[in-house]
Structure 1
Amino acid sequence: MTTSRTDGASAPGPKIGGDLHPRVLSSGQGVRDWLGELADAAADADLSRLAGFCRSGSADAARLGAVMALSPYLRASIQWRPAILEDLFEEDAGHRIDRLIGAMADGAEGETTEAAMMKRLREVKREVSLLIALRDLFGAASPADTTECLSRLAEAAIGAALRFCLAAAHKAGRIVLPDPADPETGCGLFVLAMGKLGARELNYSSDIDLIVFFDAECGIAADPMEAVPEFSKIVRRLVRLLNERTGDGYVFRTDLRLRPDPGAMPLAITTDMAMTYYESSGRNWERAAMIKARPVAGDRWVARAFLNELSPFVWRKYLDFAAVADIQDMKSRIDTHRGFGDVVVAGHNVKLGRGGIREAEFFVQAQQLIAGGRNPALRTRRTDETLGLLAQYGWLGAAQRDDLLDAYWFLRRVEHAIQMEHDEQTHELPQDEAGLAGIAGLLGFSAYEAFETRFLRTLRIVDERFNALFNDGRSRKVAEAPEPDAVLRLLASDTDPEGIAAIEAMGFARPADVARVVRSWNIGRYRATRTQKARERLSDVLPALLEAFADAPDPDGSVAAFDRFLAGLPSGIQFFSLIASNPKTLHLLLLILTAAPSMAATLAQRPHVFDALLDPAFYDEVPDRALMEARLEAFLADANGYEDVLARLRIFASEQRFLVGARMLSGVVDLAETGPAFSNIADVVLNALLIAAVAEFSRVHGRVDGMRLVLLGMGRLGSRELTASSDVDLILLYDHDEEAETSDGDRPLAVQVYFTRLTQRLIAALTSPMREGTLYEVDFRLRPSGNAGPLATRWKAFRKYQETEAWTWERMALTRARTLAGDEEMRAIVGDTIAELLARPSDAEAVTKDVVTMRGRIGRDKPPRGTLDLKLRPGGLVDLEFIAQWAQLSGQISPDPGCETVDILAAYERAAAGGGPGSSGPTPLTEAMQTLSAVMQLARLAPAGTNEIEDLPARLVERIAQALNVADANGIAEALDRATSQVRTLFVARLGDPDAAKPAEA
């Protein structure tokens, strides 16, 4: 960097860089010639280059003079040791910062005295802090760089101080270090940085929040019974080294109050004690704090293991809106206690005030707590990094991200300028004009008015985003207001005239009855509202609930449906918090409650499945298998053991099935996509389940030499046509080395027994009821010889059976076979072999006769149960499936196992019409298949056993009518009759009449 002289020549200046120009805006602050005084001091100390620079009159010298005029602390640091600036004529300030921090981090402090150690730490801290400040104010470092450097400085100081303390305790014989030359390695004690240091976002005069834990099993205490007091002494000495103010100043103010129960717990806490506390008593604010926890000193290996074990406490499997509500309450208490309320400049607290740094951080942390349990990618510490990821995963838009990021870093610059004045841990702007002008000048504004405009705009951006996330959290306490909304009076009295009048005005036909129901929610009638906190959350959302009910086609019926739902809800806090945070979900919730009672029952039993609807991708995608696999892998990443894997698979499958059902109801998905969507869910879940079940089984019984497994999907799973309530038809095929006789585990099993029991373990994993429900009902009867055959089938035996013994119905079933999971090489072999088996020539006449006879037998043995029994009614889905299977086995078209029935029918229709592969367009059979499949997919959302249109919920009838483009229930019945009549006519014309077919002899 060069500096201009007044005479037009140039002279080198300190290598600081940057293009910002701090300036004195208030005449009172520019009276004293600080640059001249520095030049004199430099000359006296034989620092000629610095003296010349100060007298050069250059713009760069002027901005150094402005800093000295506006910041007494930085001025004192420059005057303390002007040689710091002289050294910058040779070495860039950024490089010098890195070198000093690196030397502190790598130094061998074990041989020095405590006094020398304290002095060195303080001197390095003061020099580095000065250089960081100058780079920040001159624009040579971004706010992100500044906070990173400050954090690195603190981390290096903590590490140096801890190594000194450990080495001293080792020398005194109080502990025995595994490696005295490297005190941290293997010591079992570690320091977690919390808050801004944990995120590497330290502010200029920040306290550092630390928690110190140790693993008692490392056993380095000379007397194990004295481990806690001994390690606490080490922590106390560590704090003194950093915190105590001496003639050289201090290093960092240190706070240990974020540790568990600080009033009762020691300064050093065992990891076992900490885990017990967090699992039994940890609060939401502690979860939020642990987001930023980062090991900065001590035994890193033990620290990482501890944080991994703590992860389920911090990151819940569900979207956690109760935590958001707690964060909201905490911010409201801060506002109330500190008197923060308005967006102003003079005296505004840039950290805790409205629109300040804390609100930007809360905005990020709240969404991390909501979604981080489901998406590990969001488990980051830095605010800026997390904002980017929230945008990447759709939780906020790119414009929101950019606005908040810009606002956050601007507020951090303002915070730094405030603290650089006097090195005080303050966040409040001055009250007086001169003080405000000083801050504006430090930040490089040419006029105070420009700073005021930028600052107020920034506060309003953060305030707007914060309120949008927390649903205007500053006015949540409506129930405590002097004049509460009229409808809230009903929570206290169901005869309140104003409350009844209010809901009558909304459009409820029986307001007195509605009032009684609403009142019952607030008296602990249901489990969901028995706690005071749940009732508070209910009062927050009641007005919005009633408005949503009133907008429904049947307002009174909506209240009744919600009442039934609430009766089955195990807890209301999370659910009401979710609604409060996401009021737009109310209408979709009511649609589910009134149109799909089966989904409503699922929601009441497991309310967290509603989380799936809050994923930003809900309206934008129907996840394919690859995306589903990625999400499931992330969800299982921190599962704790086999049982937790089973529980998480149930949660994942429930959420994803619920999501597809909600998409069907809301009309954001083509109904033709729902069968493949439900099948993709089953595919990825069954694959993960097979892996987990085999691993758990092998843990006890070992493995069979050369064992390979393939899970074969049959029926609607095989043809990718599952519905919301489908069970899954499976066959487990296996192979192994010929010479293998038993497994190799601690409890070996004979080969056949091994695979049979493994299949039983898989079935149990699918069907066993857990708190999260069952995964799938499963059917293995399509294996060779049905229930009479072995539960697991060796691949060679399966192939031989299909070649020599399989009946026509078994070959029909094989047309829908699809490999889902297992050994990749064997999957390819099985798939190719099934295709070859189906391609073998058949007696077309015999196949036709068998198919017609079988359809006739089904018609006699299993007559349809009603209009909506679309599977069994004549001309229904069984007819269509049989036509597709017959077409493949009789040589009408080439077999395509595992293909959707509608595609097989389309290929058959083209062949029958003499068209080539390029022929396209709907056909009678494909149109019927699409119509019946669409109605069945929607009708399966109704309660089990609903077989008549008039028994469907009214809102579901509306949705089916919309899907068929008809007016009402009569239109639905007519459309179904047309479709099935046409299918049966085509079946009879092309295959024969099932009703006239002679029953097959037993």
Structure 2
Amino acid sequence: MSSGAATDAPFFAQALRDLEPLDKQNAETLLHEFLKRAAEKECSGTGTLTANKPAAAFVAAVLDLSPYLRAILLRRPQIIEPLFEIPLSRRLEALMLEIAATSEGDDVTEAGLMTALRQSKLKGHVLIALGDLSGQFVTSEATFWLSRLAEECLGAAVRFLLRDAHEAGKLKLPDLKHPDKNSGWIILAMGKFGAFELNYSSDIDLIVFIDEHSPAITDPYECVETFSRLTRRLVRILQDRTADGYVFRTDLRLRPDPGSTPLAIPVGAAINYYEGRGQNWERAAMIKARPVAGDIDAGKRVVAELAPYVWRKYLDYAAIADVHSIKRQIHVHKGHGEIAVRGHNVKLGRGGIREIEFFVQTQQLIAGGRFPKLRGSRTVEMLGALHGLGWISEEARDTLAEKYGFLRDVEHRIQMIADEQTHMLPEDDENFLRVAHMMGYRDGETFADDFRAALKTVETHYAALFEQAQDLTGEAGNLVFTGDVDDPDTLKTLAKFGFERPSDICRVIRTWHFGRYRATQSAEARERLTELTPVLLKAFGATSRADEALMRFDGMIKGLPAGIQLFSLLQSNPRLLDLLVLIMGAAPRLADIITRKPHIFDGMLDPAIFADVPTRAYLAERLEGFLGPCKVYEDILDRLRIFAAEHRFLIGIRLLTGAISGGRAGKAFSHLADLVIDRALKAVMDEFASKHGRISGGRIAILGMGKLGSRELTAGSDIDLILLYDHDEHAEESDGQKGLAPSQYYMRLTQRLIAALSAPTSEGVLYEVDFRLRPSGNKGPVATHIDAFRKYQRTDAWTWEHMALTRARPVAGDGTFFDEIEKDVSDILGLPRDPAKIAKDVAEMRAMIEAEKPPSDAWDLKLVAGGIIDIEFIAQFAVLTGNVDGPGNGQPTAEVLAKLKPDFADPAVTDSLVEAAHLYTGITQIIRLCLNGDVKREDFPPGLSELLCRACDLPDLERVESQLAETAQWVRKTFDTLLKDARNQAKSSK
């Protein structure tokens, strides 16, 4: 494939997109540095940049806009040297040949191959990025070359491993010059890799099969072990981080039943699985399957054999609900108001890439059995095929193709910033503008407008498809609930909607209509609910287990003191109905909140809820507006309770609908707590001072500890606090009518604060508060003088108390006191320590927790071996032993782990730890939001299962459980290894 825009002229002699750097002066400086490095490497061609102003401006802008490309180009300026002589496509073709040759020769070693592949991957990344950013490659060409790059690297590694297995006597290859031919090792590319649609920093999804009848297999009984071992080595060659980086992260979880199957599966067993237990999402995945390495001919035979499973003979409308659930959206998002641009997930978010892909794949599954033209793997080509067969309009084809290209370009530029597998538009100004400028925009506002318009367009087409599918599945029918006998046609209609117990549903609705609940006693309320019932039934019927969701809604109505307000609200706001259905199907905890306080749902009327990321500034502005001129102590506390409850709910709704990630939710819940605690403290101090006056020179600061300190609060978290105070050295008593000695003053003030935060009132509780992390725990005073705190932490604190201190940060009180306390905490954490002793203490503490608090099941992510405690202890151990670059206290665990020093944990381990932390955070945030207390796996509501799958971007809960088990096993092993290494290093240094 060659670029449609390219000519035979050299790359830098062609037209290049005019990119605007963030900082023109910095761009010029970087260009000079690049030219200097090029001269040092004796790159003659780059010298012509000074004479070619458009080319020089383009290179300067790239250096300024992409830190990732800048780092490579300044280190290896020779990568672009050939582009002054030849077109980019010809250079890439030559690179593909170079990669293919890396595994040839008798002297090739695994280490040498790993180095060569990593260096070639870096070259390819730079060259493809230049084609993309310059406008010489359209989207499909960039993704094609990224896929070719992955394919050639994979193929080279496979050929090396096959020859190695042959020399070791594990295989008997028929043709050593072409080791993959008739080797029996079948490697299928899945997903974007299979469709030649890889993104810039993409994982590659593979499924590995074994042709048991291959002549290369000498022992059929050993072949599974042999090829699984080879596959494990293949993954290591490709994804282990070395000094040269990595090649491609590799994912094998799309194989059949990954929790219980080997990495390489015999073809016969795989065919039996797909024919007997295969699911619709696996059919959808197989649309993009392509033999990519190893025994290509055998791979083609497997794909052909699976065709009847993927492509059904008849129009398969029944598959549409399953395909819809793959996206884990649960309900059509149409009408949810504005979409936030910053922080939006370009791949999985509303109106994103995944919606276009499923728009296409759904219709392929429905009709591909009848129409072979719909069996292609590439998204844009299949949009054309759908139009050609009359399934979609010309406008839908052209619009979605255009938006697909636009969104894929945005995705690539996000990833070009730091080569991270992320799909989230940056929230900060600088990196957001990097993306906008790399897209060719001069300002962020125009880009944001175009981006939002693209999402809305995609969302509209996606929603229309599923509305059309509802019509096609025949939802019209009787809905009669009069009398005491079930109407037969109504039962049929309810069954078509998706209810499994239609008679029970009829009984529930008759209960509503007969006014047996307080909420339905008035004639007007019953009238509104009757009008709403068909819409409710359709909405609940579209959920996974419709009966359970509707029964939960019935429980909510039963508990309402009145219903007219809520029913009217739902009738006039369809988006609220969608959200209510989502809550009832997935989140019993939120359902209970709405049942107790229906007014909390009013916050959903704000049309900007999904457009606004709940930052600290956003919440602070709304808190000030909500409190207004309120001065009365009890009123302030009540208004704080109302505000906190409403915004916890709204943050939760954003998390529930995927508008924000688990990590962002943790920060938002923590910002909210900071602000509310600070205002509650001010109110308490003012009220207390009215009777007892103030202490001369008195200052107070609240230290947030635990999840609050690390900005990882969940919807139901307690808050751990320490109150620190200081005052003039000679102050003996407060200056009020009832003067108090300083220690007594601050102790009683702290008790008032605890009551203000945790005492239940008609408006509920602000937060459950825990002060046990203060010096001396429950035995010590609830308020601590700063000098006592310093002395205790430096001379008497246990290792576990210093571990807890790694998460400490001031959250409320006197801002002038904060810097002082932060320095104290930093100094205490920086004290010299014996790593061996700390490692021993950490291991013993983990063992004690394991003995005293065993996990309830595999979903007890905090306590399970290799779970949240292990990963937090690794971060805390690293901070205490000076193995974190920069400050490590008061930050989310994932952010601390991302800064581990390479001599403590190599970059591959660091990446995996960060990934594990994000996985645990995403799942924990959702579970804590949706459930009250400890709930066993078998009691998960169906909607919760779908939310968890969406959070992990996996198609079913079994895959999520498999990933959690693998992650926990790896984290525990890493925990043990890092502590053991620390002890060994400490011994060897003595």
TM-score (norm 1): 0.48
Larger Rg: 1
TM-score (norm 2): 0.49
Tell me which of the two structures has the higher relative contact order, counting C-alpha pairs closer than 8 angstroms and 6 or more residues apart. Answer: 2
